[in-house]
Amino acid sequence: MDLRESLRKQNEIVLSLFKHVIATTTAGKPSNRLFSPALMNVILSFIAAKSPGDIEEKILSLLQASSTDELNTVSSKIVTTVLADSTPSGGPTIAAANGFWSEKSVPVDPSFKDIIENSYKAAFNLVDFRNKVHEVVEEVNSWVEKETKGLITDLIPKNFASPATDLIFANALFFNGRWDQEFDPSLTKDSDFHRLDGTTVRVPFMSGYSLGYDLLVYEGFKVLNLPYRGGRGDYYRRRFSMQIYLPDENDGLHAMLERLASCRGFLSGEGDIPGHSAYIGELKVPRFKFEFGFEATEALEGLGLELPGDVIIHKSCIEVDEVGSKAAAAAAEISIGFCMPPKEKYDFVADHPFLFLVKEDFSGLVLFLGQVTDPSMH
């Protein structure tokens, strides 16, 4: 199995899923959004492993996988290799973990238990949902809080599990990376950010020098690549970076997302949208910090995947400043182009809504994907 090829296929649903996340969670006006494609795909792989039949086939089709064995192997490599802590090599601090809580009165097939412990590297816990469901939920939430260094709390609301619950599968991700080239705090100045409704808000903008940053220019939008320190290769050849997708128009976020979601292979560098590398003139990126939680089941229905008896909860947060970025996410499943040489300089002034993602470049794994429509909102 080729990990990069498998992740390339899984990436095909990432932008489409984000579209449905926005559509199912936007009450009134657009807002900041964030989720972890890496965690969501592991959750879907787990559901496929436990649901032989129609649901399994739909997930295999959605993730373009040949078998649940392939999905299990990819999930294992994500936890053990791609998201292994890179602090020792001078890279980002990363922690990724899976956990499984099963009703003790319901027999678990030994082969399935083996998959949980060996493929998903999940801590296996037998618990009493029937009589102590609230205590179990507290245990899961405490586990998530610990694994995300305190950034994600109360993942599962009290009423989301009941004495009829048979299992909870949860995963958590923590990421803390320093920019390869940090922004000078003395250059940070307040400036106007143009929101989608035409209003503006004053927020702190970081300014940087163009050396050390990569810029790709496409028709209608630009992509800034900000590498993390130690992210240019380690023992596993990993390279971590944040990419910011900035539409040319102040109100161009929706149209850009629609276009990217319909372009096969774009996140893997294989899309047919022509672009070219360029030098950076003025560089301004807002500081931002926010958290976002949602129920993912409805968004997945938009991709044709209905999960009767299953609820998927997702919660995430991110903080981006002059030094780097810190992000965390957790999820729980509860079961009832070619580039021409640069010729011009382009400004990259992110003073209007944009997309961003954090990814590992060698494997293509997308850790976080989000949008910023108002950096002043926490």
The angle subtended at Cα 181 by Cα 179 and Cα 185, nearest 5°, is 85
Residue 135, pLDDT score: 96
Say yes or no to pLDDT of 92 above 70.
yes
259 Cβ neighbours under 8 A, 6+ residues apart: 220, 273
Residue 339, pLDDT score: 33
Distance separating the N- and C-terminal Cα atoms of the chain: 41
- Mean pLDDT for all residues in the chain: 91
pLDDT band at residue 210 under the 50/70/90 scheme? low
231 Cβ neighbours under 8 A, 6+ residues apart: 91, 92, 177, 180, 238, 239, 240, 241, 361
Give the predicted TM-score (pTM) of the model: 0.93
Residue 266, pLDDT score: 86
Residue 212, pLDDT score: 65
Say yes or no to pLDDT of 234 above 70.
no
Say yes or no to pLDDT of 344 above 80.
no
Average pLDDT of 109-127? 94
Residue 232, pLDDT score: 52
Average pLDDT of 211-221? 86
| CATH ID of 180-286+339-372, from 3.40.50.1240, 3.20.20.10, 2.30.39.10, 3.40.190.80 | 2.30.39.10
Say yes or no to pLDDT of 336 above 80.
no
The alpha-helical segments, DSSP class H, found in 124-170 are 129-147
C-beta of residue 162 within 8 angstroms of C-beta of residue 133: yes
Q: Among 274-278, 350-354, 364-368, where is mean pLDDT lowest?
A: 274-278
Single-letter residue type at 43: I
Say yes or no to pLDDT of 233 above 70.
no
Distance of CA 328 to the CA centre of its chain: 9
Say yes or no to pLDDT of 1 above 90.
no
pLDDT band at residue 272 under the 50/70/90 scheme? confident
Q: Please write the tens of the pLDDT for every residue from 4-59.
A: 999 999 999 999 999 999 998 876 667 899 999 999 999 999 999 999 899 999 99
CATH code of domain 3-177+289-335: 3.30.497.10
Q: Please write the tens of the pLDDT for every residue from 54-82.
A: 999 999 999 999 999 999 999 999 999 99
Residue 211, pLDDT score: 60
- Looking at the chain, the whole-number percentage of residues with pLDDT higher than 90 is 78
Single-letter residue type at 10: Q
Residue 19, pLDDT score: 93
Average pLDDT of 283-300? 95
Query: Which CA distances in Å does 99 have to 26, 103, 148, 170?
Result: 30, 14, 13, 5
Annotated domain spans of the chain = 3-177+289-335, 180-286+339-372
Residue 343, pLDDT score: 53
Residue 341, pLDDT score: 43
The angle subtended at Cα 370 by Cα 366 and Cα 376, nearest 5°, is 145
Q: Please write the tens of the pLDDT for every residue from 245-260.
A: 999 999 999 999 999 9
Residue 254, pLDDT score: 94
Residue 204, pLDDT score: 97
Token pair for 221: 């939008």
Average pLDDT of 318-328? 97
Judged on CB neighbours under 10 Å (0-12, 13-18, 19+), 27 is exposed
Residue 38, pLDDT score: 96
